[in-house]
C-alpha cells in the first residue's frame, strides 16, 4: 500500500490539480477537480460500485474505477497516469489477467475471458499478445450462435476482432499469429493482395507446422492469375446481364476457393435465386450474412429469401437492419413495402414504395413494378 499511497499523494490530476489523496484507514479522498467532458474519470460517483456521497472511497474502489476506464478506453492518451496508479496498487496483475483469460478460453468461456483480456490491453496497450488475445475472443464470439443472424452484437464482435488483430501487428510487425488470422478477414472483404501479403509474412515468420500448410494453400490460391483477372467481377457482370448459368459457375468457383468472402456468397445466392433454386440461395444468403453482418447488401439479400418464403417478420427485420446500415436505400425500401403488401397492409406498403420512388432514378423498372403491385391490390 505504501507505493500507491506515495503515488496518490504526489500525483496531480489531468488538469494539473491534485484530485485524490490517501486518508488514514485506507481511504481515498476526492479533492477539487474538473475532468475533461469526454473522459470518464473513475473517481466520479456514477462510475463506482459504492456511494462516495461523503467524499471518500476505499483504495480498492478507486482501482476498480480505474479498471473500468482502462477496459473501455485502453489507448486514450489520458490513461497513462491511470496505468501507473493501477499497477502500483496491484503489481503483476497484468500477468495474472492474461493467465486467467487463457484458462477461461480453454474452458470455452470467451465472454469471461474477454473481460480479463480487455483490462490486460488497458494495462499493456502496446502489447501485440494482449491485442491478439482480445481479437481471438471477439472472433470466437462472432462465430457463436446468436438469436438472429443480423444481431448487431455479432456484427460488432466481427469488427472488433479485425481491429485488434491489426493492432497486434501494428504493435509488433513480427507477431505471426495475428498475421495468419487477420488474412482471413482481409480475404473475406475481397482484399486479396493485402491478405496475400499477410500470409507471406506469416510464412516468413513461421515456415513450418500445420498453420504454415494452411497459410501456404491460401496464398497459393490467391497467387493464381485467374484471381487477379477478376473472376468475381466476371461473375457479378454475368448476374447483371442475366447470364445465370455462367454466373453460378463463376461464383461457385469463388466461394469454393475463397469461402470467407462474404460478397461472393451474396452474389452467388442472387444468381441461384435467378435460377429459382431458392433453398440453395437461402443457404448462400445466410453464409453471406454470417461473414458480412455489417454488409447491407448481404442483409437485404437474406431478407429477400425470407420474403420469398413469406416469413414476413424475419424479412422485415432484415430490411430494417439493412436500412440501419445504409439509410434511404430505395430498393430496400421497396422490399419493406412488399412485406406490408404480403401482410395485406396496403397503406404502409404504398408509403414505403412511394418514398422509394422519390429516391430512385426516374422510371426505374423495379419501382414501377412495385407501384403497379400496390395499385393492383
List, for residues 180-219, the tens digit of each pLDDT value: 999 988 887 778 888 999 999 999 999 998 889 889 888 8
Segment (H or E) for 297: helix 296-308
Least confident of 230-234, 267-271, 277-281: 230-234
User: What's the rounded Cα separation, in Å, for the pair 144 and 154?
Assistant: 8
Contact 275, 248 (CB under 8 A): yes
Domains and CATH numbers, the chain: 2-89 (no CATH), 104-109+121-224 (1.25.40.10), 225-292 (1.25.40.10), 294-377 (1.25.40.10)
Rounded to whole angstroms, what are the CA distances from 316 to 9, 205, 303, 304, 334? 58, 48, 7, 10, 11
User: What's the rounded Cα separation, in Å, for the pair 172 and 42?
Assistant: 30
- Please state the rounded mean pLDDT for residues 268-276: 94
User: What's the rounded Cα separation, in Å, for the pair 186 and 178?
Assistant: 12
- Cα separation of the two ends of the chain: 77
What pLDDT was estimated at residue 39? 39
Contact 269, 254 (CB under 8 A): no
- Please state the rounded mean pLDDT for residues 6-19: 32
Rounded to whole angstroms, what are the CA distances from 240 to 39, 53, 267? 50, 66, 10
Closest CA to 327 of 359, 370, 362: 359
Rounded to whole angstroms, what are the CA distances from 5 to 8, 35, 189, 282, 361? 5, 22, 51, 62, 68
Res. 142 pLDDT band, cuts 50 70 90: confident
User: What's the rounded Cα separation, in Å, for the pair 326 and 343?
Assistant: 25
Alpha-carbon torsion angle 49, 51, 55, 61, nearest 10: -20
- The β-bridge relationship of strands 20-23 and 56-58 is unpaired
For residue range 26-74, what is the model confidence (pLDDT) as tens digits? 444 443 333 444 434 444 434 433 433 444 455 666 677 777 778 877 7
List of residues 6+ apart from 41 with CB closer than 8 A = 14, 33, 35, 47, 69
Total length of the chain: 377
Contact 107, 114 (CB under 8 A): no
- Please state the rounded mean pLDDT for residues 348-373: 87
Q: Can you give the three-state secondary structure of 207-273, one letter per residue?
A: CCCHHHHHHHHHHHHHHCHHHHCCHHHHHHHHHHCCCHHHHHHHHHHHHHHCCCCHHHHHHHHHHHH
- Please state the rounded mean pLDDT for residues 314-341: 94
| Share in percent of the chain as helix, strand, coil (round to 5) | 70, 5, 25
List of residues 6+ apart from 161 with CB closer than 8 A = 135, 136, 138, 139, 142, 185
Q: What would the grid cell of residue 154 be? A: 455479432
* Greater model confidence, 152 or 97: 97
User: What's the rounded Cα separation, in Å, for the pair 377 and 374?
Assistant: 5
Residue 22 φ then ψ, to 5°: -85, 125
What pLDDT was estimated at residue 81? 74
Kindly report the pTM of this predicted structure: 0.67
- Please state the rounded mean pLDDT for residues 104-129: 93
Res. 151 pLDDT band, cuts 50 70 90: confident
Residue 21 φ then ψ, to 5°: -150, 150
Is residue 85 over pLDDT 80? no
Amino acid at each position: 500500500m505504501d507505493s500507491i499511497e506515495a503515488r496518490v499523494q504526489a500525483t496531480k490530476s489531468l488538469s494539473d490539480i491534485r484530485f485524490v489523496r490517501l486518508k488514514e484507514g485506507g481511504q481515498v479522498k476526492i479533492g477539487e477537480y474538473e475532468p475533461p467532458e469526454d473522459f470518464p474519470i473513475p473517481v466520479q460517483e456514477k462510475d463506482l460500485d459504492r456511494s462516495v456521497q461523503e467524499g471518500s472511497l476505499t483504495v480498492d474502489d478507486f482501482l476498480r474505477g480505474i479498471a473500468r476506464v482502462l477496459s473501455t478506453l485502453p489507448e486514450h492518451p489520458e490513461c497513462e497516469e491511470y496505468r501507473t496508479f493501477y499497477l502500483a496498487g496491484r503489481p503483476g496483475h497484468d500477468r495474472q489477467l492474461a493467465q486467467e483469460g487463457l484458462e477461461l478460453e480453454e474452458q470455452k468461456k470467451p465472454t469471461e475471458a474477454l473481460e480479463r483480456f480487455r483490462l490486460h490491453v488497458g494495462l499493456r496497450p502496446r502489447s501485440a499478445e494482449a491485442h491478439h488475445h482480445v481479437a481471438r475472443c471477439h472472433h470466437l464470439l462472432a462465430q457463436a450462435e446468436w438469436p438472429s443472424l443480423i444481431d448487431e452484437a455479432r456484427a460488432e464482435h466481427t469488427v472488433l476482432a479485425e481491429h485488434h488483430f491489426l493492432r497486434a501487428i501494428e504493435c509488433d510487425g513480427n507477431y505471426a499469429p495475428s498475421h495468419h488470422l487477420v488474412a482471413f478477414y482481409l480475404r473475406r472483404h475481397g482484399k486479396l493482395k493485402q491478405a496475400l501479403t499477410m500470409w507471406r509474412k506469416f510464412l516468413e515468420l513461421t515456415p513450418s507446422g500445420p498453420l504454415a500448410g494452411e497459410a501456404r494453400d491460401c496464398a497459393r490460391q490467391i497467387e493464381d492469375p485467374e484471381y487477379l483477372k477478376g473472376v468475381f467481377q466476371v461473375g457479378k457482370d454475368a448476374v447483371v446481364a442475366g447470364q445465370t448459368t455462367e454466373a453460378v459457375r463463376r461464383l461457385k468457383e469463388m466461394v469454393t476457393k475463397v469461402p470467407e468472402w462474404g460478397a461472393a456468397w451474396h452474389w452467388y445466392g442472387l444468381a441461384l435465386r435467378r435460377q429459382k433454386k431458392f433453398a440453395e440461395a437461402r443457404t448462400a444468403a445466410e453464409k453471406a450474412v454470417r461473414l458480412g453482418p455489417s454488409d447491407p447488401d448481404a442483409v437485404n439479400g437474406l431478407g429477400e429469401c425470407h420474403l420469398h418464403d413469406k416469413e414476413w417478420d424475419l424479412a422485415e427485420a432484415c430490411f430494417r437492419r439493412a436500412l440501419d446500415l445504409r439509410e434511404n436505400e430505395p430498393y430496400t425500401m421497396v422490399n419493406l413495402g412488399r412485406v406490408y403488401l404480403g401482410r395485406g397492409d396496403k397503406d404502409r406498403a404504398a408509403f414505403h414504395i412511394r418514398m422509394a420512388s422519390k429516391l430512385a432514378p426516374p422510371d426505374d423498372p423495379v419501382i414501377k413494378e412495385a407501384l403497379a403491385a400496390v395499385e393492383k391490390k
